[in-house]
């Protein structure tokens, strides 16, 4: 992992950070001596992560949050955004639990996935941006997906649409917040070896998909997190409004 000095004693807020890519982000930022603020719906996993980070000498504060509920996201932003020197906000909330062809998709499933992948990022961006505009610094990274750009096999329409919206939000917010010194970028991971993705796709499919891409293997969550940390660092100071593909070439084959 690259060593950055810009995160030392700065606050980094992570939504959906108790597992997968968000959890890897929490470890990497803690290594860089940031104060982590973690919002996640899963209390058990979050408490475990807090213990692990504290055992390694890191600093982390957990705020139980359902990111699809605007009042809970507002409370998280008040705690993480008002009390400290906020440097980065990472939006990892998202995902889907299985593939349903469009003709069988219910209104309820559509709403649930759209709310988790899209509304959560809107609520959080709105609340944190209000606060960051005063301090005139900081940046956001929104986690999109390769599914925003292509009809990825066995990937449902609501998820792909929500991720395309996340990339639009990234551009609009980058334009709105740039004059306040705030950068907004996205990372679009290819299929990544998180427990959730393995559960949804199956190990055999994950192995096969890994072999089929130019790099020859799918990313670990930490490899995606490294790109996220870079985009929030001083080294990326002139990068805003972009979506960085991190997919080992999965999109080009």
Chain positions contacting ligand NAP, by CB under 6 A: 16, 18-22, 40-42, 45, 65-68, 92-95, 116, 143, 145, 189, 191-192, 194-197, 221
CB nearer to ligand NAP: pick between 42 and 83: 42
What is the DSSP code (8-state) at residue 51? H
Q: Which of 14, 50, 19 is nearest to 193 (CA)?
A: 19
**CB of 124 closer than 8 Å to CB of 73:** yes
- Would strands 11-15 and 86-91 be described as parallel, antiparallel, or unpaired? parallel
What is the DSSP code (8-state) at residue 219? B
CB nearer to ligand NAP: pick between 194 and 240: 194
CB nearer to ligand NAP: pick between 112 and 137: 112
To ligand NAP, the closest distance from the beta carbon of 216 in angstroms equals 17
To ligand NAP, the closest distance from the beta carbon of 152 in angstroms equals 9
Per the annotation, the verdict on 159 as an active-site residue is: yes
The catalytic position among 37, 87, 123, 159 is: 159
Q: How many CB atoms lie within 10 A of CB 102?
A: 9
Residue nearest to ligand NAP (CB): 20
CB nearer to ligand NAP: pick between 20 and 58: 20
To ligand NAP, the closest distance from the beta carbon of 143 in angstroms equals 4
To ligand NAP, the closest distance from the beta carbon of 72 in angstroms equals 8
Q: What whole-number distance in Å separates Cα of residue 59 and Cα of residue 43?
A: 17
**CB of 248 closer than 8 Å to CB of 190:** yes
Q: Which of 83, 81, 44, 48 is nearest to 64 (CA)?
A: 44
Question: What is the length of the chain?
Answer: 253
Give the residue numbers annotated as catalytic, written as ranges.
159
């Amino acid at each position: 992992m690259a060593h950055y000095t810009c995160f030392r004693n700065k606050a980094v807020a992570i939504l959906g950070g108790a597992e997968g890519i968000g959890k890897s982000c929490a470890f990497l930022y803690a290594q860089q001596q940031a104060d982590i603020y973690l919002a996640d719906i899963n209390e058990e996993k979050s408490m475990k992560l807090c213990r692990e980070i504290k055992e390694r000498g890191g600093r982390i504060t957990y705020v139980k949050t359902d990111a699809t509920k605007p009042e809970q996201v507002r409370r998280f932003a008040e705690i993480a955004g008002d009390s400290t020197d906020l440097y980065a906000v990472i939006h990892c909330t998202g995902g889907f639990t299985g593939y349903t062809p469009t003709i069988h998709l219910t209104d309820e499933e559509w709403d649930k996935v759209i709310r988790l992948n899209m509304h959560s990022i809107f609520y959080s961006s709105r609340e944190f941006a209000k606060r960051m505009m005063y301090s005139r610094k900081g940046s956001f990274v929104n986690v999109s997906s390769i599914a925003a750009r292509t009809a990825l096999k066995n990937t449902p329409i609501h998820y792909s649409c929500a991720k395309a919206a996340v990339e639009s939000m990234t551009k609009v917010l980058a334009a709105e917040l740039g004059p306040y010194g705030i950068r907004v970028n996205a990372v679009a991971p290819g299929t990544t070896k998180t427990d959730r993705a393995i559960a949804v796709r199956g190990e055999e499919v994950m192995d096969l998909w890994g072999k089929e891409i130019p790099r020859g293997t799918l990313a670990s969550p930490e490899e995606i997190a490294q790109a996220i940390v870079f985009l929030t660092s001083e080294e990326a100071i002139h990068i805003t409004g972009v979506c960085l593909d991190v997919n080992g070439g999965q999109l080009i084959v």
